[in-house]
């Protein structure tokens, strides 16, 4: 019985040690900010801070490539979108993995979307989907939901 307990304890410790080192990689951290332009218009800024060596893709990626960054705003009578989500100039490069030129961002990127306020808006809900890669691997696409307060 003592041998069985020692084996069980050893196996459990080995498993816990392995699990501690097998951390989930989260190389992108998102944040947001809202600035009111006037009483009827605001701009939502959505920023991705990207760990060194990683990159996320532009909204402008051709079919057959990596998952592009996209934003889906929940419909509301309280506001309407003004134009599209704007992004800064991206880096363009041929990626052998996808056998095509792709546009992406390193270090950080801030996207912004203007909205027209139809009423006193309290929250804008948006879903962002993105994919992050480095020179060795791509992580599965990720979706995040934000409830952005507008004051």
Are 104 and 57 spatial neighbours (Cβ–Cβ below 8 Å)? yes
- The pLDDT assigned to 114 comes to 98
The parts of the chain modelled with pLDDT lower than 50 are: 4, 8-22
- The pLDDT assigned to 112 comes to 98
- The pLDDT assigned to 9 comes to 45
- The pLDDT assigned to 23 comes to 56
Each residue of 56-65: pLDDT tens digit? 999 999 999 9
- The Cα 100–Cα 120 span in angstroms is 45
Reference 148, options 26, 36, 39; nearest CA is: 36
- Span 25-149 CATH architecture: Sandwich (2.60)
- The Cα 48–Cα 5 span in angstroms is 48
- The pLDDT assigned to 5 comes to 52
Identify the bridge partners of residue 111 per DSSP, sorted by sequence position.
46
- The Cα 112–Cα 48 span in angstroms is 12
pTM above 0.85, yes or no: no
Are 105 and 56 spatial neighbours (Cβ–Cβ below 8 Å)? yes
- The pLDDT assigned to 97 comes to 84
Tell me the domain boundaries of the chain: 25-149
- The pLDDT assigned to 120 comes to 78
Each residue of 23-56: pLDDT tens digit? 578 999 999 999 999 999 999 999 999 999 999 9
């Amino acid at each position: 019985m003592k041998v069985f307990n020692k084996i069980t304890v050893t196996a459990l410790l080995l498993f816990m040690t392995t699990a501690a080192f097998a951390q989930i990689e989260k190389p992108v951290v998102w944040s947001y900010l809202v600035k009111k332009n006037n009483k009827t218009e605001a701009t939502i800024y959505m920023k991705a801070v990207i760990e060194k060596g990683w990159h996320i893709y532009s909204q402008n990626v051709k079919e057959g490539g990596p998952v592009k960054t996209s934003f889906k705003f929940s419909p509301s009578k309280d506001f309407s979108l003004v134009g599209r989500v704007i992004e800064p100039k991206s880096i363009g490069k041929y990626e052998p993995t996808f056998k095509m030129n792709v546009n992406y961002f390193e270090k950080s990127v801030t996207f912004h979307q203007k909205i027209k306020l139809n009423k006193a808006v309290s929250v804008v809900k948006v879903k962002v989907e993105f994919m992050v890669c480095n020179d060795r691997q791509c992580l599965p696409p990720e979706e995040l939901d934000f409830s952005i307060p507008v004051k």
